Amino acid sequence: MALRSIARLKRLAWRLLLMLALLWGGGIAVFSVLPVPFSAVMVERQMSAWFSGDFGYVAHSDWVSMDEITPWMGLAVIAAEDQKFPDHWGFDVSAIEKALAHNERNENRIRGASTLSQQTVKNLFLWDGRSWVRKGLEAGLTLGMETVWSKKRILTVYLNIAEFGDGIFGVEAASQRYFHKSASQLTMAEAALLAAVLPNPIRFKANAPSGYVRSRQAWILRQMRQLGGEGFMRENKLY
C-alpha cells in the first residue's frame, strides 16, 4: 500500500513538472513577441501584501517598447549589473567563480553573480530565494530564453519587469513616479540613479537616495562612459 502511494506521488510530481515545463516553455515562446502583462515577482509581492492585510498595495507596471526607453537606461543596468551581457550565453563564468571565492571567505556577506538574463528569468517565471531547486530551474530557463530571445528582447523585458520600489515595476512606472516624465526622457544621471537601487529596491530609495546610493550612481556613470555611452548600445544592437 505504501509503495503504491509513493508511486502515485512520483507520477503526480512528474506530471506537475511536465505542466510547469510546458507553461514556462510556452511563456518563453509567447513573450518573445508579446508584452509581459505581469511577472511572478509581481504576483508574489501582491499576494504577500494581501495576506498581510495590505489591500492598498498594487504591483504596478506600464509596458513600453525599447524605442520608448532612453538608451541611457539599458546602458545603466548593463554597467551596473552585467557588463558582459552582449557576449555571454546567459552566464558569466568568471563572475560566478569570483562570487564563490568571495562567499567562501565571507559567509555573512554573500555575493551573487546573476546576469541580466538570469534576473529576467527569475523575475518573470520564478520566486525569491537561494534554494538549489530554484537555481537549477533558473539555469535551464535561462538557456531556453537565450536560445529563443535576442539580447535586445531580454533587455526590454528586464527593464519592464524589474522592481524599482515598493509596488513599482518597470522603468516607465519608475520614471513617472520618481521624475514625472516618460522613460524616453530620462537623463544619463537619472538612469544611473534608477540602476543604483536595483540590488535592493525596497531598502534603497531613488526618491530619497542615501550616500551609498549616490556613490553607486557615480560609479555607474563612470562605467557607462567607459563602456562607450550610447555607441555601446548601437554597436551591440541593443537599441
pLDDT score, position 32: 92
Buried b (16+ CB within 10 A) or exposed e, 90-109: bbbeebeeebeeeeeeeeee
**pLDDT grade for 187, boundaries at 50, 70 and 90:** very high
From the list 215, 177, 172, 176, the residue with the least C-alpha distance to 193 is 215
Rounded alpha-carbon distances, angstroms, from residue 215 to 73, 137, 171, 205, 220 = 18, 35, 21, 13, 9
From the list 20, 62, 65, 64, the residue with the least C-alpha distance to 38 is 62
From the list 32, 79, 65, the residue with the least C-alpha distance to 170 is 65
Output the CA torsion sign for 166, 99, 149, 190: positive
pLDDT tens-digit series, residues 10-38: 666 666 666 666 677 778 988 999 999 99
Alpha-carbon distance of 65 to 166, in angstroms, equals: 23
Q: Which residue has the higher pLDDT, 49 or 131?
A: 49
Window from 21-30, 74-83, 97-106 with minimum mean pLDDT: 97-106
Q: Does 108 have pLDDT greater than 60? A: no
- Tell which CATH classification among 3.10.310.70, 3.40.630.10, 3.20.20.70, 1.10.3810.10 matches the domain 37-236: 1.10.3810.10
Alpha-carbon distance of 138 to 90, in angstroms, equals: 10
Mean pLDDT of 219-230: 95
At 221, which helix (H) or strand (E)? helix 211-227
At 44, which helix (H) or strand (E)? helix 40-51
